[in-house]
Chains A and B, each alone.
Chain A
Amino acid sequence: MRVIELVVQQSLTEEPLPDSLLGTPVLVSIPVRAHHLIVAAKWDVDELAIRERYCLNQYDSVSLMLCPALPHQFTHEQLLDVFAQGIRRLELGQETCVFLARTDIGLNDVISGLACLFDGYACGTVEQISTDNENAMVFKKTGFGGRLYLHQKVTERWVFLTLRHPNGPPNPVRNGRSECVLDRVEIQLETFGSKAKFLPIDDAQTSLTGSSVIVAGGRGMKSLDSFDLLHELATEIGGVVAASLPAVDAGWASVTRQVGQSGQYVRPDVYIAFGISGTSQHLAGIDPLTTIYAVNKDKDAHIFNVARAGVIESCETFLPLLLHELKQLKQNSQICLPTKTKTVT
């Protein structure tokens, strides 16, 4: 079986070479004969840097698909084109292949589009991959709003999927591999939506994905001003701000901040819920291993059934006091809590 991983370069300044998924727990349990990496890149990167980052006996090949003329970030239509060209260059033949990417808005579209383009199976977002006693691939995923695990057996030659939980320890350098082949291609892309305008989101830099501490607000926050206090709290404890659907509907937070069945799935170490009742739809967006703390004035709120500790009080009253105490404690002990982000391999 071959694994072909698709990643996208996001920026030149922060990290010109995106994180790869090799070595994630999802992948170490399946017999893989060869690993290939295809990078969609807007900015050129030094060959040595690529070899240091990806090739140290880990990947059998790395394809840098360079699109220097791109006026802005990739659209998913362009990514589909880039990756299709990259896949064709690999000449994979009849071998069983798994094509995967980190689950992400936009990349899900690309993966499914590629599945259709190459007549493969679009498996959706997967949590685990294993093989059964007939060596067929079995994919574990969630369905029914995160309420059921489903195991799907697939005997297709090419399978396309995104990974929901790609975080894991770095993969050790594997010995005994043949030398990594580096393929650098410069390509021209057609543009989609020539009138496209890109509107940056103010808080885009503080992505929910990968954050270890999330401070979330719900309907019980009552106002946009109260949400400002959440941002202050998040700064104090090194977290990022999220919101429930009612808070997004009220216009207190952007839809990119929404956690839950209709929003994002997050897996921080700590999730602090303010004015969130804890509906099953909201909890479906929080990893079961996350520790939840809650503040809600309703003592019967469901959030207290799933929280480790809680305070029964209105957020408007409690938040200013909490901020005051936090500042006092930090001042007294000179604690510094930088923004915490999980290591993503």
Chain B
Amino acid sequence: MRIAVLISGVLDYRRPIDKPSSGNWLDVIDSPSLPYRLSPFDEAALETALRLANLGGNHLTIITTDCSADKALTCTLLAYKPDDIIRLSVPSCLRGNARGLVTLLSVELEQQRAEADLWLMGREIGDLDDGHLAPYLAQCWGLPLVSNALVVNTQLTDLSLQRLRINRIEELTVQMPVIISMTNDRRNRLRHPLMKNLALAKRQTIPLHRFDLGSSGAVLSKAQLVAAEPVPTRYDSLENCHILQGEIAAQAREFARLLIDKTQSI
């Protein structure tokens, strides 16, 4: 089985996003110096890919997109010892544009001869996707899609899996080739790479493939990001939190009153 996992990465969510020196928040999208890390969904997809690849006789390719320029993250991915890794540099104008990205991804992966029976990715691909890239990709490539998968297992020539829906979990069997987008689940928590593999990975060099925008410019120009601003901090204007004082029983009484007053007023 040939497995390809698409890894996008997200801007390190533990750090605040600083205003770019240009003053234009849109420039955040194309700041190569900002550190990336794997999103929980990237981790779920990668762990699933690693687990299936380790079953034996399988070929694993990691394809990176948004985070390709981040050397530290690339090293981490290399330390998981995939059979191949393809680093694609995605122009900022393609970020969040499902049609543009899928068009160019298709061309680039064909050039790289990256084929797979199982395409894995996170349920959201990067900072500007909210779960719309995977279904667009599946429809465009004419492949079945299983989104929000919790766990994937092989079953003879098929895959058995569970996927999450708003009010239920569906258990189903699908044939390959298939695109599966993973959501986080305790069963697919990412393992740590071995330290010796990390050390080896630091010595490796992987070429960065740049997209040729070419004739897709017209398509892209029909959808463009024109402005950005930070989401107001929740309580920019909030007074300090009222911390209840006194005996714990008294605090519980006051908190209970507070909850009743608040819920009754809704």
State the A residues within 8 Å of B (CB). Answer: 73, 75-77, 104-106, 108-113, 115-117, 121-125, 138, 141-156, 192-193, 195-201, 204-205, 207, 209, 212-213, 237-239, 245, 248-251, 255-256, 261-262, 269-270, 272, 280-281, 283-284, 286, 288, 291-295, 299, 304-313, 317-318, 321-322, 324-326, 328-330, 335, 337, 340
Contact = CB atoms under 8 A, between A and B. Distances in A.
A195 B255 contact: no
A311 B244 contact: yes
Contact of A147 (B147, B230, B238, B258): B230
Given A113-B138, A309-B242, A335-B260, A148 B98 contact: no
A148 B222 contact: no
A233 B188 CA distance: 31
A192 B222 contact: no
- Give the one of B102, B173, B262 with max A CB within 10 A: B262
Contacts of B259: 237, 270, 272, 293, 326
Contact of A322 (B17, B133, B256): B256
Contacts of B238: 306, 308
B181 to A, nearest CB: 9
B189 A148 contact: no
Given A106-B166, A124-B130, A329-B260, 9 more contacts: A109-B131, A116-B140, A121-B99, A146-B231, A237-B259, A255-B150, A256-B164, A292-B234, A317-B248
B229 A122 contact: no
B191 to A, nearest CB: 14
B84 to A, nearest CB: 27
A202 to B, nearest CB: 11
A199 B170 CA distance: 6
A149 B98 contact: no
B145 interface: yes
Contact of A197 (B170, B174, B230, B251): B170
A145 B41 CA distance: 12
B169 to A, nearest CB: 4
Contact of B266 (A198, A262, A270, A295): A270
Contacts of A201: 167-169
Interface in B210-243: 222-232, 234-235, 238, 241-243
Nearest to A238: B263
Contacts of B230: 147-149
Contact of A145 (B10, B96, B183, B185): B10
A139 B194 CA distance: 44
A199 B243 CA distance: 43
B18 to A, nearest CB: 11
B227 A151 contact: yes
Contact of B127 (A145, A207, A292): A145
A288 B231 contact: yes
Contacts of B10: 144-145
Contact of B223 (A76, A121, A196): A121
6 closest A-B pairs by beta carbon, nearest first, are A116-B139, A193-B172, A321-B252, A112-B135, A204-B167, A325-B256
A335 B261 CA distance: 11
A145 B130 CA distance: 10
B264 interface: yes
Interface string B141-152: 000110110100
B203 interface: no
A144 B34 CA distance: 12
A147 B99 CA distance: 24
B117 interface: no
Nearest to A256: B164
Contact of A312 (B174, B225, B243): B243
Given A305-B241, A311-B243, A248 B186 contact: yes
Contacts of B242: 308-310
A305 B238 CA distance: 9
Contacts of B133: 112
Given A150-B96, A201-B169, A212-B266, A283 B234 contact: yes
Contact of A76 (B41, B128, B147, B244): B147
Interface string B27-44: 010000000000111000
B98 A144 contact: no
A62 to B, nearest CB: 24
Given A144-B127, A145-B10, A288-B231, A304 B241 contact: yes
B174 A154 contact: no
Contacts of B138: 113
B172 A197 contact: yes
A97 to B, nearest CB: 15
* A124, A145, A201, A245 interface centre (most CB from chain B within 10 Å): A124
Nearest to A284: B13
Interface string B177-200: 000000111100100000000000
B132 A322 contact: no
Given A117-B139, A144-B11, A340 B263 contact: yes
Given A310-B244, A326-B256, A337 B264 contact: yes
B236 to A, nearest CB: 9
A124 B132 contact: yes
Contacts of A337: 260, 263-264
Contacts of B256: 322, 325-326, 328-329
B152 to A, nearest CB: 13
A157 B259 CA distance: 49
B257 interface: yes
A138 B229 CA distance: 15
